[in-house]
Amino acid sequence: MFQKAKNIDTAFKQIKAFSLFIITACLLFSGFMAYRSFGLVASMQSKVYILANGKALEVYASDRKDNVLVEARDHVKTFHQYFFTLDPDDKVIQANVTKALYMADVSAKRAYDNLKESGYYTGIISGNISQQIQVDSVTVNIDQYPFYFRCYAIQSIIRATSIVSRRLVTEGYLRNVSRSDNNPHGFLIERWTTIENRDIKTENR
């Protein structure tokens, strides 16, 4: 009788220990799976897929600080291309300058107003002149905010009889603003000034 009770008590303890082991193992496994799931979700959120030419391409999201230098340079380059790319068409001039002015403050608007008042744009239209710009390089100092930049470019003024190449150097500062369709980089050019703008070569056509 006592031996049987002892066997039952031992079996109960073994079942109890086995049950605790199973429960503990299940809890640990559930915790591990939850951890792995959160990690997988975070990994998936850092990936973006775009559709290009009928193919899904994977791109990776990153913090802005990782790309701030690249975006700052491209912002400056894009602004100069819009501001200085002109054709003898009032609508083209207005469209390009409007895009440029979204990317800069009143210093760019002041430069545009001065050119307009001096008859620069009227001369381009009446003389059938085209103006193009090739940005050679843009240096940006991101160690201090707002970010100082300097842009080096070659400006080409194309007339019916000649092509004049001019060396253009400008400088200014970049301030962070909200991104938009008109300003996808989220920068605003401030205190923009022209340091140098001189003829370096003239070619006859």
Q: Are 172 and 191 in contact (CB under 8 A)?
A: yes
Q: Are 59 and 170 in contact (CB under 8 A)?
A: no
- At 35, list the tokens: 């951890």
pLDDT above 70 (res 57):
no
* pLDDT single digits (tens) 139-162: 999 999 999 999 999 999 999 899
pLDDT above 90 (res 4):
no
Cis peptide before 184 (omega within 30 of 0): no
| Share above pLDDT 90 across residues of the chain, in percent, rounded to a whole number | 63
Domain boundaries, given as residue ranges, for the chain: 2-48, 64-204
- At 13, list the tokens: 């303890």
Give CA–CA dist 47/139, Å, rounded.
Answer: 30
Mean pLDDT of 100-108: 96
SS3 163: strand
What is the dotted CATH code of the domain comprising 64-204? Answer: 3.10.450.230
Give CA–CA dist 68/199, Å, rounded.
Answer: 33
Mean pLDDT of 8-12: 67
Give CA–CA dist 133/145, Å, rounded.
Answer: 28
pLDDT above 50 (res 91):
yes
Residue of 127, 118, 129, 137 whose CA lies nearest to 84: 129
What is the reported pTM?
0.69
